Amino acid sequence: MNKPQNYRDIIDELVDICKKCQGAIAANRAISGIWNFNASDVNQDKNNTVLNKLSIGDREILAKMLRDEVVCGIFETLKVLEKHRVEPFQNGYEDSPCNDFIGRNAIPTWEWPANNTEP
């Protein structure tokens, strides 16, 4: 199957969002026990208060939940793009773009197929 390079680039960027950006930011805040060091509004201050009440084990559970929600949001977005046949997400190397995303996100050694010949 030939896919344009931007397909791979987009999937890889979505994986980076999970591992380095939003997927990591909220999780790191939860684990640290501080949502916002400079909380200036009531809601952010409440977040800090709640996190401080949790044990480190509970904060780690919350962090995993937050990371998983970012992954779920991206997965659901890819399903919509596939359903509506938006280029280049009508299909994927592993049947669905969702499967390609999950493979790249969950398995560090998962590599793109070598048969991509488009620039």
Q: Are the CB atoms for 63 and 31 separated by under 8 Å?
A: yes
Write out residues in the chain with pLDDT < 70, as ranges.
115-119
Q: Report the predicted TM-score, pTM, of the whole model to 2 decimal places.
A: 0.85
Q: What is the pLDDT of residue 116?
A: 62
CA distances for 54 relative to 5, 28, 91, angstroms: 44, 14, 43
Q: What is the pLDDT of residues 60-85, one digit of tens each?
A: 999 999 999 999 999 999 999 999 99
Q: What is the pLDDT of residue 108?
A: 82
Alpha helices in the chain (DSSP H): 5-19, 22-32, 42-53, 56-83, 97-106
Q: What is the pLDDT of residue 10?
A: 97
